[in-house]
Amino acid sequence: MRSWVESANLADCHFSLLNLPYGVFCADSGQLRCGVAIGDQVLDLAELEAAGLLEVGADRPVFDCDALNAFMALGSSAWARARARLTELLVAGGDSALADDSVLRARALVPAASVQLHLPFEVAEYTDFYSGRQHAWNVGAMFRGPDNALPSNWLHVPVAYNGRASTVVVSGTDIRRPLGQTRKPGAAGPEFGPSRRLDFEVELGAVVGQSSVMGEPLTVAEADAMIFGYVLLNDWSARDIQTWEYRPLGPFQSKAFATSVSPWVVSRAALDPFRIPAPEPKPALLPYLQRSDSTCLNIELEVRLRPAVAARATTISRCNSRHLYYSAAQQLTHHAVGGCRMNVGDLLGSGTISGPEKHQYGSLLEITWGGKEALKLDTGETRTFIEDGDTLTLTGWAQGDGYRVGFGECTGKIGPALRKAAWGC
């Protein structure tokens, strides 16, 4: 299908007519509103709603607000109606109510370059999983040896920790290097100061669009239907702080300082055509985690690193979401199986996505094998971990025949730690 918004028809455009991802933006007025990306434009959904061209919230508007939560809470039938109606309004030869109304079109279509994008939904809770098998094996081999790389539970249960919703930030937000306790190898005790081993993690984030009931578990099919869409996710990690603190309860300060997400939520419906057969889990999973369709998403992912003094960025990783061992639906099922209530706006991080080859590793910890093998950038600099002034950019897309369903970018720049003189660091 082609759109009358011509920029959406370019083969490498992330925001084609078959995508229509949702986000939150503000233009000249400074008022936050919900929108959809189409080509190089942002379609103001509040304007369509006010004009009577988009009605999904019964007798109340859901798009003239600063988050997608009210729309998501309407459920999958409303999501489907909105997607179908937007397609009708934007497809060439479709409903011309928007295309032929020059006044409304001027108000509702805003150049993407002129808007500021915001966090697309209010994050209720944030849980980060550990569902990339290659990543889990790499890290385990690094610290415990290849014969004991995967913990005994890993092939049976989606391992996770509860993160901080308060520090989930939208792409473009600068990130300050965290402070914390670390202990050097062989030292008698810890020291305090900025993390020296700061890292990124390339992940997908699943956005939960429906609530569940406390005490009631979910099937994998029910969980899948609750997922509204996906974002790119960079779970920034302070490896040296994590090494000292993680026993026995797992990451804490090493992960709590920031998690970056892309500003556009790509709907589950837009990604469904890009499901491919998933590898068969061995050993077989327990019945509550088994899925009938046995598919996974085929999304290409790239990571670029640009030092502050560099003229351009270097692509340091190319991986694919098909390397995830557990799907978002399985993660959500496991999250709720003990009775945990899931809420509209919950965010589930997939865990670091790594492929079997070194250029497919999804973190510097793996790429440099714990800092032992320096990474040389295209512009001559080297890195073992992230330095102040470095900018990390994640991007990803599902490739169709002559079109893409993409996420845009998820970017963040690292600034120096904020020190207090009384701390002596």
Look up the CATH number of the domain holding residue 16. 2.30.30.230
Tell me whether residue 353 is in a domain.
Answer: yes
Q: Give the separation between CA 66 and CA 69, rounded to whole angstroms.
A: 9
- 203 and 318 co-located in one domain: yes
Q: Give the separation between CA 399 and CA 103, rounded to whole angstroms.
A: 35
- 99 and 170 co-located in one domain: no
Tell me whether residue 368 is in a domain.
Answer: yes
Tell me whether residue 264 is in a domain.
Answer: yes
pLDDT for 1: 87
**CA-CA-CA-CA torsion sign (135, 138, 142, 144):** positive
- 97 and 183 co-located in one domain: no
- 280 and 364 co-located in one domain: yes
- 138 and 237 co-located in one domain: yes
- 365 and 270 co-located in one domain: yes
- 113 and 133 co-located in one domain: no
Q: What is the pTM of this model?
A: 0.97
Averaged pLDDT, 132-142: 97
Averaged pLDDT, 160-174: 97
Is 29 buried (19+), middle (13-18) or exposed (0-12) by CB count in 10 A? exposed
pLDDT for 416: 98
pLDDT tens digits, one per residue of 339-393: 999 999 999 999 999 999 999 999 999 999 999 999 999 999 999 999 999 999 9
133: CATH: 3.90.850.10
Tell me whether residue 394 is in a domain.
Answer: yes
Q: Give the separation between CA 297 and CA 329, rounded to whole angstroms.
A: 12
Tell me whether residue 424 is in a domain.
Answer: no
Domain boundary among 95, 118, 141: 118
Q: Which domain holds residue 25?
A: 6-118
- 167 and 311 co-located in one domain: yes
What's the number of domains the chain is made of?
2
Q: Give the separation between CA 206 and CA 80, rounded to whole angstroms.
A: 18
Tell me whether residue 270 is in a domain.
Answer: yes
- 172 and 196 co-located in one domain: yes
Residue identified by tokens 């490739």 is 399
Is 135 considered catalytic here?
A: yes
Q: Give the separation between CA 257 and CA 255, rounded to whole angstroms.
A: 6
70 in Cβ contact with 78 (< 8 Å): no
Grade residue 236 by pLDDT with cuts at 50, 70 and 90.
Answer: very high
- 149 and 222 co-located in one domain: yes
Tell me whether residue 425 is in a domain.
Answer: no
pLDDT for 273: 97
Pairing of strands 391-399, 300-306: antiparallel
- 108 and 133 co-located in one domain: no
- Choose the catalytic residue: 14, 135, 323, 334: 135
Tell me whether residue 423 is in a domain.
Answer: no
| HSE-CB of 350 using CA atoms within 13 angstroms | 32
- 239 and 329 co-located in one domain: yes
Domain boundary among 93, 118, 143: 118
32 in Cβ contact with 24 (< 8 Å): yes
pLDDT over 90 at 279, yes or no: no
Using the CB atoms, write b or e for 159-185: b if 16+ within 10 Å.
bbbebbbebbbbbbeebebbbbebeee
Domain boundary among 100, 118, 136: 118
